[in-house]
Each structure stands twice: as structure tokens, then as C-alpha cells.
Structure 1
Amino acid sequence: MMMTDEWMSIIEQSEILSDMLLSSEIIQEYRRANHAVYSDKSLAKAIYDFTNMKERYEEVQRFGRYHPDYKTVMKDIRIQKRELDMNEQVAALRIAENDVQNLLNEISTIIARAVSDSVKVPTGDGFFSDSSCGGSCGTGGGCSCSA
């Protein structure tokens, strides 16, 4: 593929869009929330411990309730998850992550629709799609959409 003026223009415009995104308030809020969570040593340790517990949980899930530590691991992971979910800094980070995801979904949809209405955008959110199936189902019309 040869680099043309059109390609160069697209690349330049994408860099401008990227710079705009990085300087947006939504991204700045995400960075603040992320820093607040991971600069707190006790919270970072709780996240690390939860990650280790998730690995134990996945091992226990392979064997189900027949695993000797099934009840202990199931109880402990729920307790740790609840503690993290109730933390205000973690909740703020999750909200900020969702806001960033929504922004990126919206931008992806706008770009795709600028190309064609039939371009499928895997946003995972039915809000931006026009069809009943979310606009990007893989069933070939099996969900009664107009695929």
C-alpha cells in the first residue's frame, strides 16, 4: 500500500483526535481516579490480594464444590470484592472507566456511521445502535435483526 496525501491527512486527523481525547476532562478525571486508587498503598495491596484470590477462585471453579477449599475461597472472594466495591476511590475509578468507555464507544460509532450505516461497531452498548440486535450480532439474522 502506498502512502498518499489522503492517508497522511487521515493520520494527521487521528493524531489531532487522539490529542483532544487525552486532554479531555473525562480522561483527566480517569487519570485522577486511577492515581488516587493506585497511590494509596493499602488500597493497592487490597487490589493485589484480590487479584491473587481471583486466581485461587479460578482454580476452585475448575473443580467446583468438590474442591477442598471451595467454601473458604467462595466466602473470602465475596468479602474482598465487597470491601473493594464499597471503597469510594474504587467506585470513582469504575465510574471514570465507564465514562471513558462510553466516550470511546460514541466516537467509534460516529466514525463508523461517517463511513457507512452498515459498518458494525462493537460497542457492547445498545444505546448507540439503530437496530434491535445492537448492530453487530453474529447470528446472521438469527435474532430477527436485519443483518
Structure 2
Amino acid sequence: MLATNETVEILDRAEKLGQMVLASETYLDYVQAKRQLEEDQEAQGLIQAFQDSKVDYEEVQRFGRYHPDYNSITKAVRLKKRDMDMNDSVANYKIAERNLQKLLDEISGLIANSVSPQIKAPKDGAVFQDTGSGCGCGSGGACGCAS
């Protein structure tokens, strides 16, 4: 592909947009929340305990309800996840992450709609949200769905 003046201008504008995102309050809040989470030893312990319990949970899921420890392990995983999610550092990080994702989705939507309203853009963290057809494949029904 040859670099035309138009292509260079688009790349320059994309770079400026990226710099604006990196300088935004939303991004700076995300970076601060991430740093706080990484430095919080209690939160790191809760995250590690949850990840360790997921190993047992995945083993149990292979057999489903027929595994003798199914109920106790699934309950333990849910409790560890709740403990992890209730930690202030984890909760603040998830909020900041969600806000940053929302900002990026809004920017993607604006760019896509400026090209054509037919272009799909991420919404709520997902690339192709279903709008009620029962399928989100975006193939226009080629897969056999009602899209």
C-alpha cells in the first residue's frame, strides 16, 4: 500500500487520538487503580486464592454434578470470588477498567459511524452485540441463524 497524504493524515490523527486517550482522566484513573491493586498485598492474596480454587473447580466441571465434591468446591469458589470482589482495590480496579472500556467503545463507535452506519463497533466490551435475533455472528444469516 502506498502512503498517500490522506493515509498519513489519518495515521497522524489516530496517533493524536491515542495520545488524548492516554492523557484522559479515565485512563489515568485506570492506571492508578491498577497500581493500587498491584501494591495491595491483601488483594493479591485474595486473587491468588481465587485462582488456586479455580483449578479445583475446573477439575470438578469435567464431571459436573456427579463429582463427589461438586457442591463443596463450587461453593468455595463462589465464596472466594465474593471475597475478592469485595476488596476495595479489586472493586476500584474493576470500575476503572469498565470506565476505560466504555470510553474506548464510544470512540470506536464514533469512528465507525463516521465511515458508515453499517459498520459494527464494540459496545459494552463486546464486538458484536446481538440486537434480538438470537445470534451475534454478524454473517447476515449465512450461518443459518435468524440474523
TM norm structure 1: 0.82
CA separation of 1:125 and 1:51: change in aligned 2, threshold 3 A: closer
- Where do 5+ consecutive residues of structure 1 fail to align? none
Residues 58-85 of structure 1, C-alpha deviations (whole Å, 9 max, x = no match): 2211211222332231121111111112
- Where do 5+ consecutive residues of structure 2 fail to align? none
Residues 103-141 of structure 1, C-alpha deviations (whole Å, 9 max, x = no match): 011000000010011111132479xx9x9559x663636
Task: State whether residues 101 and 125 of structure 2, in contact with CA within 8 Å, keep that contact through their aligned partners in structure 1.
Answer: no
- Rounded to whole Å, the distance in 1 between the matches of 2:11 and 2:22 is 16
The residue that corresponds to 1:3 in the other structure is 3
| Number of equivalences | 139
What RMSD, in angstroms, separates the aligned Cα atoms of the two structures? 2.5
Helix, strand or coil for the counterpart of 2:138? coil
**Shift >6 Å, 4+ stretches:** none
CA separation of 1:83 and 1:125: change in aligned 2, threshold 3 A: closer
- The percentage of counterpart residues that share the same residue type is 42
Moved more, 34-43 or 24-33: 34-43
The residue that corresponds to 1:88 in the other structure is 88
Helix, strand or coil for the counterpart of 2:122? coil
Give, in angstroms, the shift of residue 38 of structure 1. Answer: 1.2
